[in-house]
Structure 1
Amino acid sequence: MIVFETSRLKVRKWRRDDFDTLLSVYGNPKVCRYIDDGSPLSADEARAWLSVTQTNYEKRGYGMWALTAKDTSATIGFGGLVHPGNQKTPEIKYALDVDHWRQGYATEFVSAACSHGFDRFALPSIIATVAAENFASIHVLEKSGFSATGDQLESDGSITRVFQKTAF
């Protein structure tokens, strides 16, 4: 099911047949470098995530989505609006296959996903968290209208930068 489209992407709900692509994207150490502890996703974690995402669709009406390139119909990554640890404010997340980095897909997705969240679900704001040294994602967020709101010191000594975008 298509959730929304951009000029180059079809954004749709996850399907069971996304498992291999999900594992390929999130199993790549380059992609996972700045996600959680930097460890690639295991097959069991990918299966569990598919299940959690289905629950999020039912509970909230949104969650993670597959990003499909219109020109090839290939799934090039994943992204969505989630509530990690059941946090109150939705958070934008995304990851693209490395072959699709630096082509503007992340900014295109983040901007459209936020608009979708504001328009369809009347979300008042959306946050994003990013490792302070992940300059590419910081650039995507700034281009997409997010503003830095502060830094969090993590238990391992790393810094997570927090961004926010409001509906107005």
Structure 2
Amino acid sequence: MPTIQTQRLTLSELTAGDAGFILELVNEPGFLGGIGDRGVRDLDSALRYIQDGPAASYARHGYGLWRVELRDSGEPVGMCGLLCRDTLPDPDLGYAFLQRHWQRGYAVEAGAAVLLYARESLALPRVLAIVNPDNAASIKVLERLGMHAQGMIRHGNEPRDLRLFATVAAATEPA
């Protein structure tokens, strides 16, 4: 995957060197409450999270969750990318940012870059997103990205229904 650059951000593959950043990110209250506990408690489990999740997805699908860093400083601020889940018919947009970097527009900026990459480089006709219905901030991000609510779904082992969003699928010729 090529590196993606926006005005303020660089998106690139997560590597073993990102284990400390991942350990911090996935244990923040915002991640735990909005996405869930991934059982990452130390650097070894953070490395396994990268290897078994994003790195395996890069190899299998050509995309995954990417590190989002500030272009000016190289500081990692979050992750954003595409996930391929067995329980969804199309890839879905996922993102999480360190709480100290919330409310700066990074999720919209990174999400827009990922959706553009999905459409132009991967030729994906549709991208989904799932979100806790109580997560007003993420819902606002998805709406600002031009995604549309599709209703509620029960996803995997989630104990609650989630809101499903989708990009508008490309128009097709009538049969």
Query: Who is 1:162 aligned against?
Result: 164
Q: Show the 5 A alignment for 1:80-91.
A: 80-85=81-86, 87-91=88-92
CA positional deviation for 1:71: 2.1
**Greater radius of gyration (CA):** 2
Residues 156 and 64 of structure 1: CA distance in aligned 2, closer, same or farther (over 3 Å): closer
Which has the larger share of strand? Answer: 1
Matching residue of 2:115: 114
**TM-score, scaled to structure 1:** 0.89
CA contact (8 A) 1:63 1:82 kept: yes
1:18-29 matches, cutoff 5 A? 18-29=18-29
1:121 alignment partner AA? L
User: What is the RMSD of the two structures over their aligned residues, measured on CA atoms?
Assistant: 2.1
- Asked whether the equivalents of residues 129 and 163 of structure 1 are also in contact (C-alpha less than 8 Å), the reply is yes
Distance 1:120 1:33 in 2: 33
Q: How does 1:5-154 map to 2 (within 5 A)?
A: 5-36=5-36, 38=37, 41-43=40-42, 45-52=45-52, 53-85=54-86, 87-153=88-154
Change (3 A) 1:131 1:82: same
Unaligned runs of 5+ in 2: 171-175
Partner amino acid for 2:5?
E
How many equivalent pairs are there?
A: 167
The CA deviation string for residues 4-49 of structure 1, in whole angstroms up to 9 with x for no partner, is: 111110001111110000110111122221113x566333542222
Indicate conservation of the 8 Å contact 2:6/2:110, yes or no. Answer: yes
What percentage of aligned pairs have identical amino acids? 28
Say if 1:157 and 1:16 are closer, same or farther in 2 by CA, change over 3 A: closer
Unpaired stretches in structure 1, ≥5 consecutive residues: none
Structure 2 length as normaliser, TM-score? 0.86
**1:72–1:40 distance in 2 versus 1, CA, 3 Å:** farther
Asked if the contact 1:31–1:95 (Cα under 8 Å) also holds between the matched residues in 2, the reply is: yes
Q: Deviations over 1:35-94 (max 9, x none)?
A: 13x566333542222112222112211111000101221000111101134644101111
